[in-house]
Amino acid sequence: MKKATNITLATLAAALLASSCIKEADPYEIATEDQVTLETLIEGIPASLVQAGSAGYAQDGQAWDFALPAIHIATESMTGDIAIGGNIGYDWFAQWGTNEALGADYAVGALTWNNYYAWIMAANNVIKQIDASDFSSLDATQKSYLGFAYAYRAMFYLDLVRLYEFKENNYTEAPGVLGLGVPVVLPETTEAEAKNNPRAKVDDIYDKVIFPDLDKAEELLSGFTAPDKYTISLALVYGLKARAWLERGTAKEDNAAYAQAAEYARQAITAKSAVICAGARRAGGMTENARVYLSPISTVTLAQRAHERAYPAADSLFEAAQESEQPEL
């Protein structure tokens, strides 16, 4: 951190009088490239996760526009756990609960789409700043920052593909998009490619982005000790892998995928709990606003789901998760 310089009143007065010596500059809402450091890039990701008005609609009175916490509320409203009925005029998330006004022509679509791709761009910017061709050549700080970026990007694509993948069901049909996920944008994606970037296959997103990113994050963070529960850790990476493999098992009725989910859930338990909380206090760290927990609680849920899908090894995993110490939140 730069040291502050003491300025006397006489010096200040002289500076004001000699205004011709002061370089004038117009203020901007964004930083210039030479003002951005690797640390500010990585700190900016969790900070943006709770940015009010992140989708551009809060100024128009849309109270649902507050980034990741709002996305969590919206997706919770779409499940059967929250009853939506009667007078819903007070409920800013009613359109998700009642499945209304969610088409491409409505503003609410920006909540997920605009936010996630902005966050992906931020993770890509970190990855682009670090030479990842040889992990052994990186210092400890570079390894942790790069590990954070890969973990973030994997989480964002995992969320997106789960939100936008059409899955076969008994009520609707969409053969034209079956097996398709979302467009993939990587650091090497050119502007021309981005303008003609169709939805990638779901299998490709998992096999070419999500799992490789998590593998890299696991390698980079293998020697990293998170200073607190707000910092991305190896346990979080294991938790994300468990969720991803569980999703693959559910989609494909794949017992091998369930086995992987159970194994990584156990590793998450062994590595203690991991918490993502939005709002940066440190590089890769977050404050106590809207949280996504990857803890023994969620690991119990993973084990239960795997057990329900008739994967026998989930029995011991479920018992281990129940016996593990719950994190102090």
Each residue's pLDDT tens digit, 55-76? 888 888 888 999 999 999 898 8
Q: Tell me what the mean pLDDT of segment 194-203 comes to.
A: 95
Torsions phi, psi for 277 (to 5 deg): -125, 140
The average pLDDT across 141-145 equals: 95
Identity of the highest mean pLDDT range in 48-62, 141-155, 215-229, 282-296: 141-155
Residue with tokens 């940066």: 280
Is 50 exceeded by the pLDDT of residue 190?
yes
Q: What is the pLDDT of residue 26?
A: 56
Q: Are strands 289-294 and 274-278 parallel, antiparallel or unpaired?
A: antiparallel
What pLDDT does 116 receive? 96
Burial grade of 23 (CB within 10 A; 0-12, 13-18, 19 or more): exposed
Indicate whether 272 pLDDT > 80: no
Give 298-323 pLDDT, tens digit per residue. Answer: 444 444 444 454 444 444 444 555 55
CA-closest candidate to residue 247, choices 158, 178, 311: 158
Q: Which of 10, 70, 15, 49 is nearest to 279 (CA)?
A: 49
Range scoring the smallest mean pLDDT among 146-155, 223-232, 297-306: 297-306
- Model confidence at 139, pLDDT cuts 50, 70, 90, reads very high
Sketch the domain layout of the chain as residue ranges: 225-329
